[in-house]
Amino acid sequence: MKRILVTGGAGFIGVNYVHHMIEHSDSAITILDKMTYAANRQSLDLLPPSRVKLIVGDIADAVLVDELVSKHDVVVHFAAESHNDNSLHDPGVFVRTNVIGTFELLEAVRRHDVRFHHISTDEVYGDLALDDPQRFTETTPYNPSSPYSSTKASSDLLVRAWVRSFGINATLSNCSNNYGPFQHVEKFIPRQITNVLTGAKPKLYGDGTNVRDWIHVRDHSSAVQRIVEQGQSGHTYLIGADGEKNNKDVLRIILRLMGEAEDAFDHVIDRPGHDLRYAIDSTILRSELGWTPRYTDIESGLSQTIDWYSNHRTWWEPGKAKTENRYAQQLQMTSEAT
Ligand code: NAD
Ligand code: TDX
């Protein structure tokens, strides 16, 4: 039985991974989470207390991190400030958590010789033109655009350097846009679903032609399990499920599935520096580690996600008004600056 330390395990992807590991392994899991606005205690309700323990704390707390890492066999590192829009208004906390936090974890796994897996994003590669036939691969040069993606890129480079310079046993994965249950209502898909559920109009940035490469969060979890168990130290694996779609088309599907007119949304001012397109080539993960995504039908994935938000109002309602107030403030600051 492996003892796994999951950082950020009360956030969206982290908690889906913890649920996945409870079902698909006999591991004992400790979640280290600062319980920021992005975490939700209710996400942990159905996890067995005999196998999952929550420690509320900061990955940038060197003493706490050292003690916890020393008691585990593997660290799977999800914790981050994860929202691009927030990074444009308050970048400092992104540097502290994403860069300094990752540094403290790396130092601890180095001291205690513990296996490390670093969760990252396709945004480190920058963006692609809409008609570019290339997709991101493991060798695409780094070219991040936002404070968020540049701090994730920084953390990836730290991991690579700690492997090369200190020989730590670490893998990295860069995944495309996730969707599914337990995602914070600040993010595109849950924001639009919960807008419709609360009688507000969905909000589309710019003209909506920006493309994201969607993957169901359950497929991300199975890929991470495969990499942690079979990945080669020092290697980076790109995780994607061939799910490219532009934002307008995703929004139209959501509106249709929810019984609304497909044009019942507002166009709002575009995100500054908005990346145009992300697209992942996950051939290496599929051919070397034999992973395949299972939840690739986006319409049925969105339909299940709509059902989940419809049936879990107590999970998201407390944070909804706060999130929309934050968006209103950010919109005002962006309009004043342009
Ligand atoms: P999230 O914002 O939903 O969750 C992040 C979690 O980290 C929260 O529970 C939060 O409380 C915790 N956290 C934040 N700062 C912390 C700190 N200093 N110490 C301890 N815990 C802290 O994010 P998510 O969408 O679940 O993303 C998880 C990881 O996956 C991130 O590393 C992100 O960069 C990466 N990723 C996300 C996506 C996506 O589509 N959401 C895609 C690719 C990669
Ligand atoms: O209200 C909105 N309207 C809108 O048009 C919001 C919140 C977003 N958008 C657009 C912006 C993006 O083109 O939708 C797209 C997706 O936006 P986000 O959900 O904010 O995701 P993105 O910026 O693409 O980043 C996500 O994927 C990569 C995650 O938040 C990151 O953590 C991950 O690394």
Helices (DSSP H) in 61-112: which residue ranges? Answer: 62-70, 84-89, 92-94, 102-112
Amino acid at 122: D
Q: Are strands 244-246 and 211-213 parallel, antiparallel or unpaired?
A: antiparallel
* From 33, 58, 104, 123, active-site residue: 123
Residue 15 alpha carbon, nearest atom of ligand 1: 26
Dist. CA 59 → ligand 2 center (Å): 24
pLDDT at 272: 95
What is the dihedral sign for C-alpha 51, 56, 57, 58?
positive
The token duo for 65 is: 């991190």
* Sequence spans of domains, the chain: 3-183+216-242+275-295
Map residue 172 onto helix, strand or coil: strand
- Stated pTM of the model: 0.98
Where does ligand 1 bind, in terms of residues with CB under 6 Å? 7-8, 10-14, 32-36, 38-39, 58-60, 78-82, 97, 101, 119, 121, 152, 175, 177-178, 184
Amino acid identity at 104: E
CB atoms within 10 A of CB 71: 11
Nearest to 275 by CA among 132, 87, 128: 128
Reduced to 3 states (helix: H, G, I; strand: E, B; else coil), residue 67 is: helix
27: left (phi > 0), else alpha (psi -120 to 50), else beta? beta
- The answer to whether residues 189 and 302 touch, using CB atoms and an 8 Å cutoff, is yes
CATH architecture entry for 3-183+216-242+275-295: 3-Layer(aba) Sandwich (3.40)
Given this model, what pLDDT does residue 334 score?
Answer: 79
Angle in degrees, 0-180, between the axes of helices 298-311 and 313-337, rounded to the nearest 10:
110
Question: Residue 285 burial (CB < 10 Å; 0-12/13-18/19+)?
Answer: buried
> pLDDT (tens digit, 0 to 9) for every residue of the chain, 338 residues total?
799 999 999 999 999 999 999 999 999 999 999 999 999 999 999 999 999 999 999 999 999 999 999 999 999 999 999 999 999 999 999 999 999 999 999 999 999 999 999 999 999 999 999 999 999 999 999 999 999 999 999 999 999 999 999 999 999 999 999 999 999 999 999 999 999 999 999 999 999 999 999 999 999 999 999 999 999 999 999 999 999 999 999 999 999 999 999 999 999 999 999 999 999 999 999 999 999 999 999 999 999 999 999 999 999 999 999 999 999 998 888 778 77
Cα distance between residue 273 and residue 326, in whole Å = 19
Which residues are CB-neighbours of 194 under 8 A, at least 6 positions away?
Answer: 185, 309, 316, 320
Q: Report CA-CA distances (Å) from 319 to 38, 82, 197, 323, 325.
A: 9, 16, 14, 6, 10
Instruction: Identify whether 299 is a catalytic site residue.
Output: no
Q: What is the largest CA-CA distance in the chain?
A: 57
Best substitution site from 82, 188, 220, 326 to test ligand 1's pocket, by max atoms within 8 Å of Cβ? 82
pLDDT recorded at residue 332: 84
CB atoms within 10 A of CB 282: 27
Write the CB contacts of 167 (distance below 8 Å, at least 6 apart in sequence). Answer: none
| Short-list 209, 213, 83, CA closest to 149 | 83
176 lines ligand 2 (CB under 6 A): no
Would you state the pLDDT for residue 302? 98
323 C-beta closer than 6 A to ligand 2: no
Going from the Cα of 122 to the center of ligand 1, the distance in angstroms, rounded, reads: 14
Residue with tokens 């513990």: 114
DSSP class of 146: S
